[in-house]
Amino acid sequence: MSDPNAGRLGPIDQVYAALRAGALLVGVAYIFLAKPGGGTGDDVPIAFAVFATYGAVLYTAGLGWLRDPKRKGRFYVVLGGCDLVFVVVLMHLTGGEASPFYRALYLWVAMPAFYFGLRAGTIASAVAFVVFVSVFDSNTHNAWDFLVRAGGLLLHGPVIGYLVARDRDRDRRLAELEAQLAQSKSG
């Protein structure tokens, strides 16, 4: 008996694709709402055009991977790496740590934490922390501002990863108990 969901994109895949579309809309809104002469020039529209292009190319090329549960994780690792590079470039283009796009690091951390769990969430938080520290200007902000921002990045991934892992463990245990109950009723 074959899996009726084989070859279909799951709910997580659909949410990730919708988040990418939302990010593109945010970028378009930023382009239109940013203060004229705010230093963005033509770089931000070009960056978001690149984001749309590489996203479309990766999703088109990676559709086979997305439909194969054994290779889906690899697709999200490649996509996450490209997205991190995009966020870093976008932060650089829009003011470093003063960029409104530094908050995209929180979303970037959440995605691997949600898909892969605690370990990936912790690693993603550490990477985002390093990115943030590399652009943070201690002459502009005080230590408390640094602690709040950096602490949020460091806690975000492990918390989401832990909650996802706990939920998946409960689902697994529930499925085992249901299987045992069905076996005991039939036996």
Half-sphere exposure of residue 113, counting CA atoms within 13 Å on the CB side?
A: 28
For the chain, the first-to-last Cα distance in angstroms comes to 22
Mean pLDDT over the full length of the chain: 85
Which of 17-26, 78-87, 130-139 has the highest mean predicted lDDT (pLDDT)? 78-87
Question: Which residue, among 88, 101, 100, 128, has the nearest Cα to 112 in the 3D structure?
Answer: 128
Q: What is the per-residue pLDDT across 154-175, written as a single tens digit (0 to 9) for each?
A: 999 999 999 999 999 999 999 9
User: Model confidence at 4, in pLDDT bands (50, 70, 90)?
Assistant: very low
Q: Please state, for a pLDDT cut of 70, what percent of the chain lies above it.
A: 90
133-157 exposure pattern, b = at least 16 Cβ within 10 A, e = fewer? eeebeeeeeeeeebeebbebbbebb
> Is residue 35's pLDDT more than 80?
no
Q: Tell whether pTM > 0.85.
A: no
Question: Which residue, among 63, 114, 57, 104, has the nearest Cα to 83 in the 3D structure?
Answer: 104
